[in-house]
Amino acid sequence: MPILFLIVVIDLIGFGIIIPLLPLYTEVMGADPVTVGFVMATYSLTQFIASPFWGRSSDRFGRRPILLISLFGMVISYVWLGYADTIWMMFGARAIGGFMAGNISTAFAYVADVTTRETRAKGMGLIGAAFGLGFIIGPAIGGILAGSDPVHADYRTPGLAAAGFSFLAWILALLFLKESLSPDIRKRLAAQPRQKRHEQFRTALNQPNLGLLIWLAFLATLAFAGLEATFAMWSKRQFGWGPEQNGYIFAFVGILGAAIQGGLIGKLNKRFGEARLITQGASALAIGMVMIPFCQSLPFLIIAMAIAVYGYSIISPALSSLTSLQIGEEEQGGILGVTRSATTLGRVVGPAIAGSLFGLLGKDWPYFFGAAVMTAAMIISWRARARFSADK
């Protein structure tokens, strides 16, 4: 587990490096905000398409070879990103990066292999902490490497640095990571019949409570992913910021999200319960997003972002937890997999819609739209709260 934790942290630092600069990098190539939104959506789209392939492959061939292949694929995608000088090269680099993002789901499968039922939550939490560290350290590094000028920033060095981090993770996996699945288990898993993903979606969505929770997870991710995809473009126009300033903001977002999900969420859950936290999170995310267009100073922006991050950081685990409580033990893997697929789709649709609104209606409209979506989610969750509490 320690070596897997280190591999995931290093890999996700590389992923985090490019977050604050990707929209600005695409704009420098001549893309409009609509195109930027689709570039941002491409990664999640190919990740969604590739996810079942990597899952079946890791069951058949083992976790270690899939991790090695996908980590090396990430190296290639970041190098291509660093040297991209056309919009279509950007699309290609992000498409390969998303397709190779099977390393994350494989890492979670690895944890499930090497932990018992009693220690699994701790193991999954360790990988969650690795995510948090990557999203804190990575954006700060990326912003510093690129610089503060949005037009003349160094966009190549961060891409190559991200490639270097993923290559280091690949070296560590090659030298120190052991296979978690024995040949007998791989053979048995490969022989098991699998329900197709669209059938899993249909089965889950046809169950009233589960279907509603999956829709809420999709909407929350859609709104927040739209914020992430357009924020660098918005801050460039509102404050004249470049990658460096955005890197610090995204690092702040990472620190706050890790603090809430790592410590505060447990206390809040004991006090309010999952159903109320979903309503509370949707409300906070709506308030934070509607505040952003009116921010004229950094202190006000930090308050708005903190409210939005607080909302997303409590609604996501609350939805996952309540979903888990609605189903039997034997259904956990399949249903939670459907939920993860729904949130991945949210990261496809959210940036595409937000970028289109940004380009067609103006820089503030992605946040008004996200606030409206989360207001609807708040009302839906509030009306369904008694039903969730009764079925818990």
State the pLDDT at residue 243. Answer: 93
Amino acid identity of residue 351, one-letter, is P
pLDDT averaged over every residue in the chain:
85
Question: Two tokens at 125?
Answer: 């939490």
Q: In this predicted model, what pLDDT tens digit does every residue of 343-372 receive, in sequence order?
A: 889 999 999 999 999 999 999 999 999 999
**What span, in angstroms and rounded, lies between the C-alpha atoms of 359 and 354?**
9
- Under the banding of pLDDT at 50, 70 and 90, the label for residue 9 is confident
Q: Which of 20-34, 76-90, 173-187 has the lowest mean pLDDT?
A: 173-187
State the pLDDT at residue 120. Answer: 63
Q: Which of 111-115, 130-134, 230-234 has the lowest mean pLDDT?
A: 111-115
Amino acid identity of residue 330, one-letter, is E
- Under the banding of pLDDT at 50, 70 and 90, the label for residue 60 is confident
State the pLDDT at residue 330. Answer: 47
326: nearest Cα among 260, 376, 278 = 278
Domain boundaries, the chain: 1-194, 195-392
**Superfamily holding 1-194:** MFS general substrate transporter like domains (1.20.1250.20)
pTM, to two decimals: 0.87
State the pLDDT at residue 2. Answer: 74
Res. 106: pLDDT tops 60: yes
State the pLDDT at residue 196. Answer: 66
Task: Tally the C-alpha atoms within 13 A of residue 46's C-alpha that lie toward its C-beta.
Answer: 17
DSSP 131-184: HHHHHHHHHHHHHHHH-S-TTT---HHHHHHHHHHHHHHHHHHHHHPPP-S-HH
If phi > 0 it is left, if psi is from -120 to 50 it is alpha, else beta; for residue 362 that is left
Task: Tally the C-alpha atoms within 13 A of residue 223's C-alpha that lie toward its C-beta.
Answer: 34
State the pLDDT at residue 61. Answer: 81
Provide the CATH number for the domain formed by 195-392 in this structure: 1.20.1250.20
**What span, in angstroms and rounded, lies between the C-alpha atoms of 390 and 34?**
44
